[in-house]
Amino acid sequence: MYDVVIIGGGPGGYAAAIRAAQLGGKTALIEAASLGGTCVNRGCIPSKIWLRAAYLYTMTKRAGDFGIILSLSGLNLNKIVERKNGVASEIRMGMKSLLANYGIEHINGRAVIRNSKEIDVDGKKIEARIIIIATGSSPDVTGAPGIDMAVSVDQLFDLAKLPKSALILGAGSNEIEAANMLAVFGVKVHLVADGARILPLEDHDISQRMSQALRQQGVEVITRHNIMSLSKRETGYSIVLAGPKERSLDVDMVIVGKRKPNTEGLGLKNIGVVLNDDGGIKVNDSLETSVRGIYAIGDVTGGWMLSHAASSMGVTASENAMGGNKTYPSHLVSRGLWTIPQVGAVGLSEEEAEKKGYDVKTGEFPYAINGLAMGHGLTEGSVKVVSDAKDGDLLGVHIVGENATELIGEAVLAMQFECSVDELAHSIRVHPSCSETLVDAARDSDGWALYLPKT
Ligand SMILES: Cc1cc2nc3c(=O)[nH]c(=O)nc-3n(C[C@H](O)[C@H](O)[C@H](O)COP(=O)(O)OP(=O)(O)OC[C@H]3O[C@@H](n4cnc5c(N)ncnc54)[C@H](O)[C@@H]3O)c2cc1C
């Protein structure tokens, strides 16, 4: 019998397996397809390679501002796909050898849970003291009639030819990254959000700044609309949008970003594992499901579907599986977008903090007057700090701008160690760096931003 058996070899399952083995558990990892899951094969890594190409393309166009004379003669998509496949394969090989290094058995096959101690893998019985479900999520291309002709965002990373125009349905991080990437490469993008704003789970300032950036890149941002119908034309598709104003659009490609937790076919109903309203597996603060001895982590639990959320949940679940008593700090899950400009966020938005009844205080600092950003010609964006006016507790940090995905790590650490706004305002940063904007925004919270005019 294994101590811990993990179902799914994405970032969640992989981290869980290593942590359980580090703690001395006899561990097995069951994967039906490729190690690395969505993250390595169709998500984070592929999208970041394509977005890096988009960034370099943009910067090459701006090289003249730095006295570099270059001419852009086009794009070789095959080369981007080749790089993506190469990096993914290298990561998968590294994962395989690390599993072996830790003595973790890697079982290839599809798992079905029979009871809290038994799993069936393609007819073979596996016994486990603890089971961790890490089966991830899949594209959900359902809804209006004809929507099944759309592609999912994760299919973009094998494109051999760019469409001339595309409609992207959805306004979460994957859809916004796709819109940015395609627009930079010259595709006419229509981004359709059913709500009042894009990135609806983020602070309104982030939504507003990113809408503005996308519009400047030529993206048409259409809010409060949804696809009513989609039909095939000789080339491309005709779409009718429902909303305050019904609209028709013709595009070459329709892209959908929605995803759903992979709970089907796992035998969950038979054993009494309860799901949330969003279809994800319900877990408590220790990440245990409604069935004792069965944990669930990552995308299959719904909520923020992010790789680092999955892997950190993997650590918590395995520590608990091996006798620990850890709770998962879900309020510290940061978010990142590798767009131009980047986005980084953690904690409560201003609106969420107000709804929760805090006496909210905010501070802001624009990239436009940060020396490094000015020097680099990347002055788009700002840092916003949300805190509790009563005790100075940091509640959230929201960044749009260069290096936001790295800079947000500072905010996570500050919140994890309960650093106050005043402590952040008095901390020292290297100059010139984008990290200075975080300190400046904290100072602005307390009304003494040194480099902003007196108010
Ligand atoms: C386009 C795109 C871009 C993204 N970019 C980012 C990003 O930049 N940063 C970020 O943090 N997140 C990003 N994500 C999200 C990230 O990829 C996921 O949050 C992450 O992969 C979830 O990890 P997981 O381990 O929960 O599941 P997954 O990575 O989905 O892995 C689950 C694994 O379980 C296996 N499996 C399923 N059912 C069974 C079964 N019954 N038996 C055996 N194996 C099974 C699957 O084959 C799969 O390999 C992106 C996603 C997409 C689609």
Q: What is the pLDDT of residues 8-67, one digit of tens each?
A: 999 999 999 999 999 999 999 999 999 999 999 999 999 999 999 999 999 999 999 999
Determine if ligand 1 sits within 6 Å of the CB of residue 342.
Answer: no
Query: What is the pLDDT at residue 159?
Result: 97
Query: Binning pLDDT at 50, 70 and 90, where does residue 417 land?
Result: very high
Structure tokens at 340: 């131009």
Mind listing the pLDDT tens digit for each residue in 321-345?
999 999 999 999 999 999 999 999 9
Query: Binning pLDDT at 50, 70 and 90, where does residue 454 land?
Result: confident
How far is ligand 1, taken at its centre, from the CA of residue 340, in Å? 24
Cβ distance 261 to 137 under 8 Å?
yes
Determine if ligand 1 sits within 6 Å of the CB of residue 262.
Answer: yes
Cis peptide before 453 (omega within 30 of 0): no
No. of helices (H) and no. of strands (E), the chain: 13, 22
How far is ligand 1, taken at its centre, from the CA of residue 448, in Å? 44
Cβ distance 354 to 360 under 8 Å?
yes
DSSP state of 282: P
Determine if ligand 1 sits within 6 Å of the CB of residue 257.
Answer: no
> Which ligand 1 atom is nearest residue 308's CA?
11
Give 99-121 as a DSSP string.
HHHTT-EEEES-EEEEETTEEEE
| Region 413-419 average pLDDT | 97
Q: At which residue do the structure tokens 């993506």 appear?
A: 84
- Cα separation of 231 and 147, whole Å? 9
User: To 5 degrees, how large is the angle CA 117–CA 121–CA 126?
Assistant: 35
Nearest alpha-carbon partner for 271 in 1, 3, 7, 23? 7
Nearest alpha-carbon partner for 449 in 365, 380, 392? 365
Strand partners for 343: 337, 400
Q: How far is CA 190 from the centre of its chain?
A: 21
Give 374-408 as a DSSP string.
HHHT----EEEEEEETTT-BEEEEEEESTTHHHHH
Average confidence score pLDDT of the chain: 97
Ligand 1 pocket test target in 5, 19, 35, 39 with most atoms within 8 Å of CB: 39
Ligand 1 pocket test target in 18, 19, 34, 44 with most atoms within 8 Å of CB: 44
How far is ligand 1, taken at its centre, from the CA of residue 37, in Å? 5
Query: What is the pLDDT at residue 94?
Result: 98
Q: If DSSP codes are grouped into helix, strand and coil, which group holds residue 131?
A: strand
Mind listing the pLDDT tens digit for each residue in 193-222?
999 999 999 999 999 999 999 999 999 999
Query: Binning pLDDT at 50, 70 and 90, where does residue 317 land?
Result: very high
Query: What is the pLDDT at residue 342?
Result: 98
Query: Binning pLDDT at 50, 70 and 90, where does residue 455 land?
Result: confident
CB atoms closer than 10 angstroms to residue 179 = 30
DSSP state of 257: -
Ligand 1 pocket test target in 38, 132, 299 with most atoms within 8 Å of CB: 38
Determine if ligand 1 sits within 6 Å of the CB of residue 280.
Answer: no
Mind listing the pLDDT tens digit for each residue in 351-383?
999 999 999 999 999 999 999 999 999 999 999
Structure tokens at 70: 């270059």
Element (H, E) at 229: strand 226-232
Q: Is the overall model pTM greater than 0.95, yes or no? A: yes
Q: Where are the alpha helices (DSSP H) in 272-399?
A: 307-321, 350-355, 371-376
How far is ligand 1, taken at its centre, from the CA of residue 396, in Å? 26
Query: What is the pLDDT at residue 105?
Result: 98
Nearest alpha-carbon partner for 200 in 225, 174, 167, 171? 171
Query: What is the pLDDT at residue 292?
Result: 97
The dihedral over CA atoms of 214, 399, 303, 295, expressed in degrees to the nearest 10, equals 140
Element (H, E) at 30: strand 27-31
Q: What percent of the chain has pLDDT over 90?
A: 98
b (16+ CB within 10 A) / e for 187-202: bbbbbbbbeebbbeeb
Cβ distance 345 to 396 under 8 Å?
yes
Give 225-281 as a DSSP string.
-EEEEEEE-SSSEEEEEESSS-EEEEESEEEE--EEE--TTS-HHHHT--B-TTSSB
Strand partners for 76: none
Domains, the chain:
2-138+260-330 (3.50.50.60), 147-257 (3.50.50.60), 341-445 (3.30.390.30)
Nearest alpha-carbon partner for 12 in 409, 312, 283? 312
Positions marked active-site: 431
Query: Binning pLDDT at 50, 70 and 90, where does residue 6 land?
Result: very high
Residue 385: pLDDT over 80: yes
Residue 139: pLDDT over 80: yes
* Closest CA to ligand 1's atom 38: 135
Nearest alpha-carbon partner for 382 in 441, 429, 427, 432? 441
Q: At which residue do the structure tokens 């989609």 appear?
A: 230
How far is ligand 1, taken at its centre, from the CA of residue 251, in Å? 29
* Closest CA to ligand 1's atom 35: 8
The dihedral over CA atoms of 333, 338, 344, 348, expressed in degrees to the nearest 10, equals -60
Amino acid at 154: D
For 10, 102, 229, the CA distances from 94, given in Å and listed in that order, are 13, 12, 45
* Closest CA to ligand 1's atom 33: 8
How far is ligand 1, taken at its centre, from the CA of residue 12, in Å? 8
The dihedral over CA atoms of 355, 412, 18, 41, expressed in degrees to the nearest 10, equals 80
